[in-house]
Amino acid sequence: MKFRDGQWLVAEGVRVEYAEEVYRITPTASNKGISLLCPTRKVMTRGDTLNLGTVSLDIEAAFDGVISIEATHWQGAVRRGPDFDLFPAGRPDAEARITKTETGTTLTAGSLSATVSGKPHEFNITFHSSDKNGKPLTTLLNRSVGYAYTPATSNPKQLADMRNIKHYTFTQTTLGVGESIHGLGERFGPFNKVGQKVELWNDDGGTSSDQAYKNISFYLSSRGYGVFIDTPERVELEIGSERCCRLQTSVEGQRLKWYIIHGPSPREILSKYSILTGAPGGVPSWSFGLWLSTSFTTSYDEKTVNSFLTGMKARDIPVEVFHFDCFWLKAFQWCDFEFDREMFPDPKGQISRLKADGIVKKVCVWTNPYLGQASAVFAEAAAKGYLLKRKNGDIFQWDLWQTGMGIVDFTNPDACAWFVGCLEKLFDQGIDSIKTDFGERIPFEDVQWFDTSVDPGRMHNFYAFIYNKLVYEALQKRYGKNEAVLFARTATAGNQRFPLTWGGDCESTPEAMAESVRGGLSLGLSGFAFWSVDIGGFEGSPPPWIYKRWVAFGLLCSHSRLHGSNSYRVPWTVDDDDKTEEGCSATLRKWTHLKARLMPYIFSQAQESIKGGLPLSLRAMCIEFPDDPTAWTLDRQFMLGDSLLVAPIFEEDGTVQFYLPQGPWTNFFSGEVIVGSGWHTQTHGFGTLPLFVRPNTLLVLGKEGETRTVYDYTSDVEVRSYFAEDGATMNLVDNQGNSVGKLEMKGSEILGLEQLKGNSTVAVISK
């Protein structure tokens, strides 16, 4: 929200009060920080302290390299939930050191410090590294902390009745010259958020708008720091869009709390962020295989499903997971957790037969927390009080999506248990995974939650957390801690703990594929390790060339799913079953087989991503090359793990431009070496794209011709050396993710080869 009209004027209808000076500094109650009393005008005489508002600014050490800042106007405002589940693995010790000199007061938390200027009548708080260089990261300068009223008030007595007056709290941190801002969830617009207004409010807006399914209140700066905004409520950011040199964060309320996280590298920032909100959850190796969907509004029954899977097997395209989308349920009865028996007379038997025949290993179904009133479960949930209500006691219903639909109230423990019971009935039928769709359109006006202590505005985004947590933990309880996989569309901070997510409803166009790349990059910079996309696009029917280009991109995401809206995504329906090597079936087969070969590398990198809070894929180039200014601008390419560079192709003729950072990079397919840094243009058929191996890499691949996703990642493998120097390593894992050893370059020799089994080979590709 903008509070000013240009640099000089206040916006029409708004009254703004700024913290003008630091009047007093005292220790915080925790003794881990300092509390600043900041009047909204300079206090020159005792009389200036009367009829005056103040802002309290509490600055505390959270843990090494992390400091929290909380701005408060009126301390007596009720603190309503829900709150983010912080430090889920335990809170590290916080050592705070406070020093005072003539120039100011400094709070130090390990590698990060905050210094409050000691000049009289000045408001200036600088966040900087704690080393002798004291590199400044960002600053709260004059008129950067305050509160605002709308409509504007002219007399303090008007605040006796606040029912029709909105109160906002805001802070403005400085943006340095050339600084770029990234993250804030799965955002499909420009990769660098400077110049944008961003509203953190989950909504179902597709991939071609400024709305987002996954609003994550965390951003990462190219200057070596990140910021986590500690509230699930609506947050509005003006990122160089109100004042070009500042990033403004505002919320409607009396308090605003955020954490500044020092890196200086993106890896360190994301690692510390994962301590704060939780590390990404692990996913089983089978989930990295190809997922095939029925698509959304297509017509399908048991015979159709069988034809899809037998057709894929006949074309040597292994399918790891088959997904039943919405119409496994009877129309108007979503989501009642019951197969439509007219289309699927024996679902348990069908699933059992599919698995026994070996044409698919796992089965997933679509669900959501919305209950249409035509379903029997609506009546049951309504009678038991499991649905969200209006303030007058009516069940909250609308005809958006499902007729007379109600929303499961997950603040009610009995409703949670009931919902899990519905899922368990699906597990009993052989369902292995759940697609948790929706959860964005959660009303916040005229609603009454079962838990009366929660604020409906804070529940809107937070619903994504409790919804996906419930389903994920139900899967863990049934199948084991590391075997749970859900396919979620909505998320908020902390949802990275419940993998995985996909990018929502994109069109079947090259522009939408590029939007999806930007969305995946931004979500990865928000602490999410695993991400997928609807291969071919969701809306519309992709022409063969887009389908094939998207297949290449999609099979190099961490997870890969064929899914559409009103058209199938099995390849032979896209190009009239073109049987040539350039056809859709051959293209899908090539890329599915390649991913199978890459599994020893991919699954090893997955474990490292979980430990470090890093995206596996899509991993933004700036994570691996933070000192390369160009890396912070790249939104059409990404890293798969730390060693493979991927540049999707968006042109029908196969032309693609990509950037290689410094060093000799090796084309995975041809072995050609290109020395970076610089931009390059190539033209590719459908069986290749720019896939380059980073110098100083040891790469372990499955054997030539490997088509399985799950196998022994240390037996019959191929070890490749790409300009590997002394100290280069590759961690070996089994197909459960357990570490089983390490390969290491020592001079010209690779140590640890004795850990490999079978007919494993070694090849020096580049030296």
Q: Is 242 helix (H, G, I), strand (E, B) or coil?
A: coil
In the block, residue with structure tokens 């430990």: 611
Nearest partner of 485 among 419, 525, 530, judged by Cα: 530
CA distance 680 to 695: 17
Residue 126 has pLDDT above 90, yes or no: yes
Structure tokens at 457: 């505005």
DSSP string covering 409-477? -TTSHHHHHHHHHHHHHHHHTT--EEEE--------SS-B-SSTTB-HHHHHHHHHHHHHHHHHHHHHH
Contacts of 11 (CB under 8 A, 6+ apart): 2, 3, 4, 5
Number of H helices, E strands in the chain: 10, 43
DSSP string covering 538-606? SBS---HHHHHHHHHHHTTSSSEEE--SSS--SGGGTTT---STTSHHHHHHHHHHHHHHHHHHHHHHH
DSSP string covering 341-386? TTT-S-HHHHHHHHHHTTS-SEEEEEE-SEE-TTSHHHHHHHHTT-
List pLDDT tens digits, range 716-750: 999 999 999 999 999 999 999 999 999 999 999 99
Alpha carbon distances (Å) from 28 to 60, 92, 230, 242, 716 = 8, 19, 19, 32, 61
Average pLDDT over residues 286-290: 98
Judge whether 321 and 291 are in contact, CB under 8 Å. yes
Residue 767 has pLDDT above 90, yes or no: no
Judge whether 741 and 717 are in contact, CB under 8 Å. no
CA distance 361 to 366: 17
List pLDDT tens digits, range 23-48: 999 999 999 999 999 999 999 999 99
How, if at all, do strands 673-683 and 655-667 pair? antiparallel
Average pLDDT over residues 564-575: 98
Q: Rounded to a whole number, what is the distance in angstroms from the first to the last CA of the chain?
A: 55
Nearest partner of 721 among 694, 740, 741, judged by Cα: 694
- Given this model, what pLDDT does residue 206 score? 94
Nearest partner of 369 among 455, 278, 208, 486, judged by Cα: 486
Structure tokens at 611: 């430990």
Alpha carbon distances (Å) from 443 to 143, 389, 584 = 35, 10, 43
Contacts of 272 (CB under 8 A, 6+ apart): 63, 65, 66, 226, 261, 262, 263
Average pLDDT score over the chain: 97
- Given this model, what pLDDT does residue 657 score? 98
CA distance 391 to 377: 23
Identify the helix (H) or strand (E) that includes residue 523: helix 510-524
In DSSP terms, 362 is beta-bridged to: 321
Residue 177 has pLDDT above 90, yes or no: yes
Q: pTM of whole model > 0.95?
A: yes
Alpha carbon distances (Å) from 536 to 112, 131, 150, 338, 545 = 45, 50, 46, 29, 10
DSSP string covering 654-711? -EEEEEEEEEEEEETTT--EEEEEEEEEEE--TT---EEEPSSEEEEEPPTT---SSS
CA distance 105 to 67: 15
Torsion of CA 127, 130, 131, 135, to 10 degrees: 0
List pLDDT tens digits, range 291-310: 999 999 999 999 999 999 99
In DSSP terms, 250 is beta-bridged to: 170, 236
- Residue 569 confidence class, pLDDT cut points 50, 70, 90: very high
Contacts of 175 (CB under 8 A, 6+ apart): 138, 181, 194, 239, 240, 244, 245, 246, 247
CA distance 421 to 426: 9
Judge whether 467 and 494 are in contact, CB under 8 Å. no
CA distance 360 to 67: 49
Average pLDDT over residues 306-315: 97
Nearest partner of 327 among 304, 349, 343, 311, judged by Cα: 343
Average pLDDT over residues 451-457: 98
Other beta carbons less than 10 A from residue 664's beta carbon: 18
Judge whether 148 and 16 are in contact, CB under 8 Å. yes
CA geometry: angle at 20 spanning 14 and 26, to 5°?
125
Identify the helix (H) or strand (E) that includes residue 519: helix 510-524
Judge whether 329 and 340 are in contact, CB under 8 Å. yes
Identify the helix (H) or strand (E) that includes residue 26: strand 24-27
Q: Is 160 helix (H, G, I), strand (E, B) or coil?
A: helix
Average pLDDT over residues 567-572: 98
Structure tokens at 106: 């400094």
CA distance 21 to 3: 20
How, if at all, do strands 196-200 and 235-239 pair? antiparallel
Alpha carbon distances (Å) from 649 to 52, 491, 553, 640 = 60, 28, 8, 16
Cis peptide preceding 500, ω within 30 of 0? yes
- Given this model, what pLDDT does residue 435 score? 98
List pLDDT tens digits, range 215-231: 999 999 999 999 999 99
CA distance 696 to 721: 8
Q: Which domains does the chain have, with CATH numbers?
A: 4-179+222-277 (2.60.40.1760), 296-492 (3.20.20.80), 621-766 (2.60.40.1180)
HSE-up of residue 193 (Cα within 13 Å, Cβ side): 29
List pLDDT tens digits, range 243-255: 999 999 999 999 9
Residue 415 has pLDDT above 90, yes or no: yes
Range 359-362 contact pairs with CB under 8 angstroms and sequence separation of 24 or more: 359/309, 359/310, 359/312, 359/313, 359/319, 360/292, 360/309, 360/319, 360/320, 360/321, 360/322, 361/286, 361/289, 361/320, 361/321, 362/286, 362/320, 362/321, 362/322, 362/432, 362/433
Identify the helix (H) or strand (E) that includes residue 741: strand 739-746
Average pLDDT over residues 635-646: 98
- Given this model, what pLDDT does residue 44 score? 96
Please state the separation of Cα 300 from the chain's center in Å: 32
Judge whether 735 and 282 are in contact, CB under 8 Å. no
Residue 49 has pLDDT above 90, yes or no: yes
Cis peptide preceding 264, ω within 30 of 0? yes
In DSSP terms, 220 is beta-bridged to: 182, 226
Q: Is 190 helix (H, G, I), strand (E, B) or coil?
A: coil
Active site residues: 437, 440, 505
- Residue 420 confidence class, pLDDT cut points 50, 70, 90: very high
CA distance 262 to 130: 10
- Given this model, what pLDDT does residue 222 score? 98
